[in-house]
Structure 1
Amino acid sequence: MEVMKLLPTGKDYLWGGTRLNKEYGKNINLSPLAETWECSVHPDGSSYVANGEFKGKTLAEVLKKHPNYVGTKNPNEELPVLVKLIDAKENLSVQVHPDDEYARKNENQNGKTEMWYVIDADENASIVYGFKHQVTSEILRKAINGGNLDKYLQSVKVHKGDTYFVPAGTVHGIGKGILIAEIQESSNITYRVYDYNRIDKNGKRRELHFDKAVNVMNMKTAVDIKRKSRMIRYYPGCSREIICRCKYFETERIQVTKAFSFSVLSSSFQIVLCLDGYGEIQTMDDEQKSLRFIKGETMFLPAGLGRCLILGEVEILKIRC
């Protein structure tokens, strides 16, 4: 059993930019490069193993052969999360995702609850998050046709280091000039409500899904998501903070200055995404192994891997279920 460094699948959605190639060394021949699916077994884009025994295989193939790598807390023996990097050079569509019950019944997939960690943001960058006032499907349809949907949407200015939890059913949109790490359920269902009348590379407007969207959308007034202070715990060699915890996943932001030790138990896999710096991860079992990593790289740690040590000066997100 070993740490697996992953190679992502890329997506060239029309709103994407160039930062993932230029600043994060993805070396993916797509322009624009909007998203990289860093840790994924989804059929629309699995990640690949870059090292060791399973080099060249998809993560989906590895986990199908070794379902114990997912862990005992995941009874379906499937990876329940999908981790992405997102470079929004332009606004994403205003959209919504269904919950598990609706998605499984109507789309034969999981629903999509997600969280965003803002890696970087332009000075005046903002997101769409829910509604300013309670609305109805009739109000929304009229607003979209009249081109004044904005007056109903809650716009939130974002800053580097912010975290946003986006439950299924929340209307939302990532604004231009934002670089995000997204952790979500393993799903690829998006219902577009509005897409700024943009034209795709084939000269057509992208499909909207208004009728499905209103079936799953929370039309009440959005919760207040002003920036809140988070508890950072300091230890010799690192600092740690839980930035999101929900029924689907837990995400921890860790700033390593010297060393950070932790355990990967048989109950769940863990994922490490390096946001900045460079370091080395060591396994501490009888056959000690080490793997170097740099900014932008992602590693899958199989359930039951045991004690691990990260050395270096790095900022990471650590995800587990």
Structure 2
Amino acid sequence: MKPFLLKPTCKNYLWGGQKLRNYGKISDSDKIAESWELSCHPDGESIIASGRFKGMPLSQFLEQNPDSLYLHRQEEHFPVLVKFIDACENLSIQVHPDDDYALFHENDTGKSEVWYVVEAEPDASIIYGFKEKITPEQFRLAIENDTLPQYVNIVPIKKGDVIFIPAGTLHSINHGAVVVEIQQNSNTTYRVYDYHRIDRNGNFRTLHVEKAIDVLNFEPCKVPDTPQSNEIEEWCYTPLASTPYFIATLWKAKYKHSVFSFGGYQGFGDIDCFSHILVIEGEGIVTLYDGETIPLKKGDSFFIPADSMLGEITGKLTFICTDNYNPDDEFELDFDF
């Protein structure tokens, strides 16, 4: 099977801006808050944008070609969703449930996620958990009295920061940041504070305080340190997250003609698994075994099936590779540079 480009679904949430247009995102809306780059979620699917399956939803392709998802596994639920986020204004303060709670109450999976900061204005920050332990009653009162921001950790961020957010962690992205979010394949969010904003219909957006109380970690917490980068031949790489649902790694080319091989049981991730490439800087060329070439540029989203033919990416570019490698499978990784 040949790899292919993906076209995202764009979301025009009220806090979005214009920066994602610099990453090639197109929308008729006045703002683009998110672009769902790798998604089989019914709230916004990725569409195949190149090759003989062009125009087909990704979920339909994987249903018809299950070996392109996994070669030696069977899964009923696509595990991951990858998106760009442009926080022109503060996002709501929110929390996501874990798997058990989400399955019982929402018929959905939970949501743990990781952010990679692509752009950050000088005053950019995030909200991450509580400064000190509070009770559910104190939490309710803080929302009613408009004092919740006094209880949360406000953490400055800069380009290159990595923030892992486990399910149950209160969080938000404040204005002035563009991030890549790699998350479980879920769209369940419990919003608890929204700065009294009015939506396009003149209504306050719904809050989900009681469900949030059910799932929140009320203990104080701090942001984990950003993982250290490593080097291997022509590339620098930084592990962003490793969970049962996704593994994400940042790869940065050291040279103008750095080469990364994939497919044919070598390259990205496990031979048993798909891989997804999201280019965040630079440009390059994909060359497949049969000689076909596919140009890559900043913002491009590229899907490598588990049964992909051999190929390589050449160029001076930075990208995030996401897969769902299963360490229990008895296969060896073979990075070929």
1:1-321 map, 5 Å: 1-21=1-21, 23-72=22-71, 75-222=74-221, 224-225=222-223, 227-228=225-226, 230-235=228-233, 237-256=234-253, 257=255, 258-262=258-262, 263-264=267-268, 265-284=270-289, 287-321=290-324
| Counterpart code for 1:282 | T
Q: What is the TM-score of this pair, normalised by structure 1?
A: 0.95
Deviations 1:289-311 (A, max 9, x none): 32111100101111121543110
Write the distance in 1 (CA, Å) between the matches of 2:302 and 2:51: 12
Deviations 1:231-289 (A, max 9, x none): 32241x322221221222111111122222242554110000000111112234xx343
Report if aligned partners of 1:68, 1:77 keep a CA contact under 8 Å in 2. no
| Counterpart code for 1:313 | K
Deviations 1:62-109 (A, max 9, x none): 111112211147532432100000000000000000001111111111
Write the distance in 2 (CA, Å) between the matches of 1:124 and 1:9: 29
More displaced stretch, 36-45 vs 263-272: 263-272
1:135 CA displacement: 1.3
Write the distance in 2 (CA, Å) between the matches of 1:73 and 1:16: 40
Write the distance in 2 (CA, Å) between the matches of 1:174 and 1:196: 13
Q: Which runs of 5+ in 2 are unaligned?
A: 325-337
| Counterpart code for 2:315 | G
Write the distance in 1 (CA, Å) between the matches of 2:127 and 2:72: 34
Report if aligned partners of 1:67, 1:77 keep a CA contact under 8 Å in 2. no
SS at match of 1:151: helix
Q: Which runs of 5+ in 1 are unaligned?
A: none
Report if aligned partners of 2:227, 2:239 keep a CA contact under 8 Å in 1. no
Write the distance in 2 (CA, Å) between the matches of 1:60 and 1:31: 28
Write the distance in 1 (CA, Å) between the matches of 2:86 and 2:226: 24
Write the distance in 1 (CA, Å) between the matches of 2:121 and 2:236: 26
1:227 CA displacement: 4.2
SS at match of 1:64: helix
Write the distance in 1 (CA, Å) between the matches of 2:223 and 2:112: 16
Write the distance in 2 (CA, Å) between the matches of 1:74 and 1:189: 26
CA RMSD of aligned residues (A): 1.5
Report if aligned partners of 2:8, 2:35 keep a CA contact under 8 Å in 1. yes
Q: Which residue of 1 aligns with 2:332?
A: none
